[in-house]
Amino acid sequence: MGKRLERGLYIIIFSTMSFFLGVFYTFYEIDQRIWNEELVKARDIETRYINYQQKRCYKKSDLDLIILGEIQK
């Protein structure tokens, strides 16, 4: 019974640490997205281009110019 309880305790500790590590990493990535303005602008423009196909605000060459800085050939 003692080894079984000890093993269960190790599993719970490992699971809890994995969970909190995942939560910490997620919040870190969200924080980087919020504070990095260049990343936010590029993703928002690209998302708008992909998700709103009926009303095109940007052409493909405009996206390349805005995101990459030059037109890709």
Residue ranges of domains in the chain: 1-35, 37-73
Residue 47 or residue 6, greater confidence: 6
| pTM flag (> 0.75) | no
**Could you report the per-residue pLDDT of 7-27, keeping only the tens digit for each?**
999 999 999 999 999 999 988
- What pLDDT score does 37 carry? 61
Q: How confident is the model at residue 28 (pLDDT cuts 50, 70, 90)?
A: confident
- What pLDDT score does 8 carry? 93
Kindly write down the DSSP assignment for every residue of 1-70, as one continuous string.
-HHHHHHHHHHHHHHHHHHHHHHHHHHHHHHHHHH-HHHHHHHHHHHHHHH--SS--S-HHHHIIIIISS
